[in-house]
Chains A and B, each alone.
Chain A
Amino acid sequence: SQTIHQWPATLVQPVGSPLSLECTVEGTSNPNLYWYRQAAGRGLQLLFYSVGIGQISSEVPQNLSASRPQDRQFILSSKKLLLSDSGFYLCAWSPGPLHEQYFGPGTRLTVT
């Protein structure tokens, strides 16, 4: 069966510091991968998605970036965090386009 991991689970970072969040998927190959952010009490905002290694599409222009160095690894990064970057970051995978998405446990980021 497939499993999706995210780490860290929680993170408190000062404004202006860098960020690296990691997501890995087990038990499948060539998944579509997604990064979402959910602000407190709000809906899901799609940040990035990837259909293959090195292929990243950005949905929202901001100070975040994503990379997919391996088939089942997806990384979300920032060089300098803003207060507005606080939120619940979720990684998801799907078997292909138009298919259901499965979410990881999430990383709760607080920028202070």
Chain B
Amino acid sequence: QKEVEQNSGPLSVPEGAIASLNCTYSDRGSQSFFWYRQYSGKSPELIMFIYSNGDKEDGRFTAQLNKASQYVSLLIRDSQPSDSATYLCAGYSSASKIIFGSGTRLSIRP
């Protein structure tokens, strides 16, 4: 069973700090990784995608991919209360099937 695993949290971070969300995957052939943000009662919203090893930055968000260690991370700088949500990690397996993690709940405390 190919898996994408995330710590369910909740992860509590003070406002203005860096939130670090992590995800590991079991299929070494996986490629194309994604981070989604899901507010309670709403649908997931794509915030970042990363295909290559290394870092990818977009505003306050940085996605990091390390294929050798099979992990993907998302850093949120200058965390705001509006960043409080569940963050889903997803990746395509070597069989081209997308697999979602169960999500990490992030809480930004004022």
| B residues near A42, Cβ cutoff 8 Å | 102
Is A75 an interface residue when CB atoms closer than 8 A count as contact?
Answer: no
C-alpha gap A59/B92 in the complex (Å)? 15
Provide 10 A-B residue pairs closer than 8 Å at the C-beta atoms, listed in order of the A residue: A43-B100, A43-B101, A44-B44, A100-B46, A100-B49, A101-B34, A103-B36, A103-B45, A105-B43, A106-B43
Is A61 an interface residue when CB atoms closer than 8 A count as contact?
Answer: no
Contact between chains at B96 and A104 (CB < 8 Å):
no
- Among A44, A97, A106, chain B packs the most CB atoms within 10 A around the CB of A44
- Among B34, B43, B90, B100, chain A packs the most CB atoms within 10 A around the CB of B43
Determine how close the nearest CB of chain B comes to the CB of A39; give it in whole angstroms: 11
Query: A43-B102, A105-B43 are known contacts. Are A100 and B34 too (CB-CB below 8 A)?
Result: yes
Is A102 an interface residue when CB atoms closer than 8 A count as contact?
Answer: yes
Nearest-CB residue, chain B, relative to A36: B100
C-alpha gap A111/B100 in the complex (Å)? 25
Determine how close the nearest CB of chain A comes to the CB of B51; give it in whole angstroms: 9
C-alpha gap A44/B98 in the complex (Å)? 11
Contact between chains at B96 and A44 (CB < 8 Å):
no
Is B74 an interface residue when CB atoms closer than 8 A count as contact?
Answer: no
